[in-house]
Chains A and B, each alone.
Chain A
C-alpha cells in the first residue's frame, strides 16, 4: 500500500465527499472545535432555521452544538417527554444527529439508535445535519453492513434500529422527475470532523 495512514484517511474523506456530492448532499469539513461550531452556525443560518432539535450526540459534540444553536429555539431530544416528542421534532426546521459511521465510497451514513425519537430527528425536519467523525469512515457499504451485522448479532437486550442514509428524501413519482424533500429532509448536510 505504501501510503501512511494519514494520507489514506484523507483520500478516503475525498472519496466520501465526492460520493456525497453525487447524492445531492452537502459535505462540510471541520478540523477543530471552532470550525465545527462555525460550520454549524453557517448551516443553521443558511437554512433560515427558527427551531432545531438535536439527538443522539455524545457529550463533547453536544456542547458544541449547544453553542452553535445559541439564539435559535432548540431542544435536545433526550430531554423531551414522550407526549411532546413527536410534535416538537416535527415542528423543528433542523435536526442535528450523530452518525455512528459511514461508508465512504457509497456516501452512506449509518445511524444506530435505540430510541425512535432520535431516528425521527433525522426524518422529520426539512434540514438534516449529520455529524460524522472521520475516524469512523469505512471503505464501502459492504464494510458498513458487515459492521451493522456485528452489532445485531452481539449482545442481548433490545436491538437498535439502524438506518443507512444516502442523501435527502427524494421521489421520482411525478413523471420521473427528481424532487427532494417529500416527507423528510430536502437538504442533507454532512459535517465531517477530522479532529474527534
Chain B
C-alpha cells in the first residue's frame, strides 16, 4: 500500500510535470497578491494597525465556550433556533432531520468552507436531498466533482475552456469558452433553484454575541438570495467565528475584504439576526444556527494550535505560499488548503490527513501576509513533529538537521571535504546514501573559522555601541571571510564587536519539525546572549534567517523576559550599518555602470520596513534593481538541496519563475544577503551572486 508520504511525493511530481496547470495557479496567486496590494494602497490601509486590531478582536476570544453560550442566547432571543454540534456528523444529522420535517428536497448553498469541512453535500445527498452550490467557483468544482483549490478562489486551477466544458456537460449544450457567455447560462440555470429550494444554507463570516447577529459576505450576491428566498435558512458557523461585541464588526469586515481581494468591503455584506417574513407572511419561515465545534475546542486548549482559530479565512497565505503556487490546493490541502490548512486539517480532520505539512518550506511569508499575524510556520513545524513521531524522520531531513555537526567536520577536514563536494562520484554517493541532490552546487568549507581569523584584528572604539556578531554556519564555516569583513566594517563604524562561541541559529529544526531540538538550541544560545544583551550588547548577523530566529522564533520557543530582550536587541546587519552610512566610506569593488540585481530573502522581509542592504549598495554608487516574483526563491534553506520531488525538483519549479525575471532584467551581477538564496539564484541563472558586503572594497 502506498503510504501518505509516497502519495504526496507522487502528487508533487505530477503537479510539477503539469506545467500548464502550475502556471495557471502561479498567475492566479500573483494576481491575488497584486489585488491585495492595490487595495492596501488605494484605501490607505495601515497593515500593522490592522493586524493589531484583528488580534485584539480575536485572540483569546475565538472558540470561547462562554461566548458561544452568550451568542446562542442572543440568537434565541431574536427568535432563532440554535443547535450546538459537537461533531460534523451531529451538524449533518440536525440539518437532515430538519430537511425531513420541512419537506426539503432541494438546498441552495452559499459558499461555506465550514460545510466543506463536514462534507455536508455528500451527507445530505445520501439522505436524498439535492444540494446546489450557488457561488460560481463552488458550483464549478461541485459539477467537476472536485474540492475547492483555494479558500477564496475555489476554481482558480481551471481555465475558461475547462469551465465552459463543465457547463456544456451539465446543461447538455455547447457553451463557448467565454466568461460572459458562461455567465449567461449560469444565471438562468441557478435562478429557478433559488426560487424553489425549500432551504438555504449559508456559512457565516462573523457571529456577534451581543446582538445575536450573523454576517455573510459575498461578491456575487448569492448569500443574500440563499438567506432570503427559501423558507428555511440554516447557518452553519464555526464556533471560532463568534466575536463578543458589535464594535468588533467593522474592522473585521474591512480586513476580510482587503486581505482576500483588495476590496474596501465585499460587495454584499448581509447582516442577519433572524428570518424575515416574505411579502408579509412568516408561514414556514424558520431560522436555525448550527454552531460547530468539530475539534475546535481541542485546538483552543492546545497552546501550539489555538492561534489557528483566529484565522479569518481570507486566503492571503495561500496567495503567497511558494509551493502552494506550484502544486495547488488539491495537493497542498485536504479539505482546507494552503498554509493555514495544515493546522486546521490536523485539528479537525486528524494528523493522518495532514501529511501535506511537509510542503511547507518555512519561508515565513504566510505569517508576514496574514492579517491576524498567525505564526503558521511554527504551527506547521509542530504538525511535522507529530507526523514524524508517528512515521519517522526522513533520512535526508535528519542529515540537514545535523548541519552544525557536519559543518564542523567538513571545515576541519577541508580541503578533502571540498573535493568531495565538487566530485561527481562522491556527489552521486551522497545522493544515494543521504539524499543530497547532486545537481545542487554546495558551499565549500574553510578550515580557518571566523574566530581564529579575527584573532589580532583591531577592536572598535565602542563609541557607536557594543555588538555581538552572530555568524550562524555560513559566515563561520563556509565563508569566514564574509564574517571577517562584516565585523571589521562594524568596528570601523565605532562598534565594539565580539563573536562568542554560539550554536547555529537552528532553522532546519523548524523546517523539518524538530521543535524540541530547536528549543534546546534556542535555550543554549539565549544563555550566552541574555547576559550580554543585559549589559548593553546588540546582536547582528549577516544571515537574515539567523536574525529571524532570534527575533521571531526564539521568544516563542523559550518565552520570557530574556528572549524578549534578545529579540528586541537583534537586528539585521545592514539595518545596523544603515544608521552610519553617511560616514561610512564605501568604495565599490565592481564597475558601477550596469545595474546590480537584488533579491530580498523571505526572512529579511519580516525584519525591516525598507531594504537596508539596497541602501548600502546604492550608498556605494551602484544602480540596484530589485528582482522579485513576490514570493520565495524556492531554496528555503536546505530544502532545495534535498533530492527528489519534495526538495530540489519543487525548489527549482518555484525558482524558475524568478530565474526568468533575472534573465529578463539583463543584470550580470546579483546581490543577496542570504547564503542559500544566493546558491539558488546562482544555480538557476548562472549569474554571479554575492553577499552585498563583497560589493565594496574590504574595510582597511
Contacts and interface: CB of A to CB of B under 8 A. Distances in A.
Contacts of A106: 264-265
Given A115-B277, A159-B78, A182-B220, A173 B267 contact: no
Interface in B223-248: 224-225, 227-229, 246-247
Contacts of B156: 176
A149 B254 CA distance: 16
A175 B183 CA distance: 13
A182 B261 contact: no
B417 interface: no
Interface in A146-195: 146, 148-149, 152-153, 158-177, 179, 181-185
Given A115-B279, A176-B28, A169 B221 contact: yes
Contacts of B220: 169-171, 182-184
B276 A182 contact: no
A117 B279 contact: yes
B12 to A, nearest CB: 24
B163 to A, nearest CB: 6
Interface stretch (A5-13, A29-37, A42-50, A118-126): A118-126
Contacts of B183: 171, 179, 181-182
A113 B276 contact: yes
B279 A183 contact: no
B267 A182 contact: no
Given A152-B211, A176-B156, A184 B224 contact: yes
B687 to A, nearest CB: 32
A176 B228 CA distance: 28
A183 B278 contact: no
Interface stretch (B131-139, B301-309, B401-409): B131-139
A177 B28 CA distance: 10
A58 to B, nearest CB: 18
A174 B178 CA distance: 9
Nearest to A79: B279
A80 interface: yes
Contact of B277 (A86, A116, A145, A167): A116
Contacts of B187: 181-183
A158 B267 CA distance: 25
Contact of A86 (B134, B158, B195, B280): B195
Contacts of B210: 153
B219 A169 contact: yes
A90 B271 CA distance: 22
B267 A169 contact: yes
A142 B249 CA distance: 9
A94 B263 CA distance: 26
A162 B224 contact: no
Contacts of B268: 163-166, 169, 184
A158 B280 CA distance: 13
Given A145-B249, A153-B246, A182-B222, A114 B276 contact: yes
Given A123-B224, A149-B211, A90 B191 contact: yes
Interface string B23-63: 01000100110000000000000000000000000000000
Contacts of A142: 250
A142 B43 CA distance: 14
A39 interface: no
B269 A183 contact: no
A26 to B, nearest CB: 15
Contacts of A183: 134, 187, 190-191, 194, 220-222, 225
Nearest to B138: A173
Contacts of A168: 267
B394 interface: no
B624 interface: no
A170 B191 CA distance: 16
**Interface size grouping (class) on chain B:** 35 or more
Nearest to B277: A115
B265 A141 contact: yes
Interface in B279-294: 279-281, 283
Contact of B281 (A82, A114, A164, A179): A82
Contacts of A152: 211, 213, 246, 271, 273
B426 interface: no
B532 interface: no
A77 interface: yes
A87 interface: yes
A172 to B, nearest CB: 7
B228 A116 contact: yes
A132 B264 CA distance: 21
A108 interface: yes
Given A82-B283, A141-B250, A141-B265, A174 B225 contact: no
Contacts of A90: 191, 195
Interface in A49-92: 77, 80-82, 84-87, 90
Given A85-B279, A161-B271, A171-B219, A149 B228 contact: no
B154 interface: yes
Contact of B155 (A116, A164, A174): A174
Nearest to B274: A159
A77 B424 CA distance: 81
A163 B267 CA distance: 10
Contacts of A158: 78-79, 274, 276
Given A141-B254, A159-B78, A182-B183, A167 B211 contact: no
A124 B155 CA distance: 25
Contact of A153 (B136, B180, B211, B279): B211
Q: What are the 3 closest A-B residue pairs judged by CB atoms, nearest first?
A: A173-B137, A184-B221, A85-B279
Interface of B: 24, 28, 31-32, 78-79, 134-137, 140, 153-156, 158-160, 163, 179-180, 182-183, 186-187, 190-191, 194-195, 210-211, 213, 219-222, 224-225, 227-229, 246-247, 249-250, 253-254, 261, 263-281, 283
16 contacts: A82-B281, A84-B279, A85-B278, A115-B276, A116-B228, A116-B275, A145-B246, A158-B274, A161-B228, A164-B269, A167-B267, A171-B136, A171-B137, A175-B160, A177-B160, A177-B179
Given A182-B183, A184-B224, 8 more contacts: A116-B276, A152-B211, A152-B213, A158-B276, A164-B268, A173-B140, A182-B136, A183-B191
